[in-house]
Amino acid sequence: MGSRPGPRRNLRRVRELIPRPQSVAAAAANVWDRVNRGHLADLRRLPAAIIDEGPQRTVFRYHPQHRELVGPPVLLIPPLAAPALCFDLRRGCSLAEHLVSAGHPTYLLDYGAIAFGDRNLGIEHWIDEVIPGAVRAVSEDAEGEPVQLAGWCLGGIMSLLSVADDPELPVSRVAMIASPFDFTKVPMVAPLRPLVDLTGGLLGTVIYRALGGAPAPIVKRAYQLAGFDKYVTKPLAILQHLDDREFLAQLEAVDRFMNGMLAYPGRTFGQLYHRFFRANDLAGGHLELADRTIRLEDARVPVMSVAGTGDGIAPLPAVHAIGELLPNAPEVRLEAAPGGHLGVLTGRGARRTTWVLIESFLRAQSGVDGAGRHLRTAA
């Protein structure tokens, strides 16, 4: 028979359940601030100026914090349907803030809201017009320097496709975070594949055509389902962390992000559904479009891909599949960092993991001086 816990052990367990006075005071202060101030997180956006505008394209230049800028310009590329504030979630958990503080000339592409009238826009629009237009605007603003791209999820995929499709695009490197290239390795969609195959894809086609794409509420619910366990246990997590201001602030910032989800245009969503999900084109190293085939082997710039070890939307095997698809890239870095789909990009620990990887990759740009710094004076 096993021994029973002694009185001292039981007493210790009881004491662990009793909140410490410091925790009670911190929890009370957090609740007071949340109720009376309305928020705990510092949600101020990083100051920026618009340098270029076009259809589904607004390009911002973040105000530099240093007179001397480090390295070529960095353009942040968000995925479709997600608000661009994914790169500037809140003060202290903002990749944009981190890059600007490090002296990088940093820019942001924002697609803006997607309307029902945009339902005929296809992937070609983003690869041919939106991203290349933003890249050229940034390069021109940065005195003709080539641009380094950093894209999250679909933003990383479209960045790489744009570079592979146009060798003249002034891009020097591409960093991707949580960007999947083999959709057979995405557990979120695997259970749906037999149904899709049975109907020849017709069921999904009828739905997205009737809706004109994927409306914002559906996109939001899909993200929540991907992290269903965390979504369901969120109220309990809040109660358990009432004394943890940083934890509560992060939840608040993520809620704002989720509430800002946008829609996918109908034709673009259809192409994602048929070419990415059904045909799994990217795993074969190409993307079939109506007028051409984009081949990833045509990408000839250094590439880094960071996977989140806890990502349920883009798990590591799906993300790191890119490692076999870039035979002509001079360098391909496959990295992993803690976090889920959003957390690996901008979680509370990202500054010590993902951001360090990104910073190392950007500073490896050829042409830097012996100290690893390629300096340019801010305008």
Q: Is residue 111 pLDDT above 60, yes or no?
A: yes
> Per residue in 260-294, pLDDT tens?
887 777 788 888 888 888 889 999 999 999 899 99
Total Cβ atoms within 10 A of residue 228: 11
Query: Is the per-residue pLDDT at 95 higher than 80?
Result: yes
Rounded CA-CA distance 173/150 in Å is: 9
pTM here is 0.80
**302 or 65, which is more confident?**
302
The tens digit of pLDDT for each residue in 152-196 reads 999 999 999 999 999 999 999 999 999 999 998 987 655 444 444
pLDDT at residue 367, as a whole number? 41
Q: Is pLDDT larger for residue 321 or for residue 221?
A: 321
C-alpha 97/C-alpha 8 separation (Å) is 50
Q: What is the mean pLDDT of the chain?
A: 80
Question: For residues 254 and 297, which has the higher predicted lDDT (pLDDT)?
Answer: 297
Higher pLDDT, 322 or 25: 322
Given a contact cutoff of 8 angstroms between Cβ atoms, the answer to whether 124 and 49 are in contact is no
What pLDDT was estimated at residue 304?
A: 97
Non-local (6+) Cβ contacts of 63 within 8 A are 46, 47, 48, 49, 100
Q: What percent of the chain has pLDDT over 70?
A: 70
Contact 305, 323 (CB under 8 A): yes
Statement: residue 149 has pLDDT above 60: yes
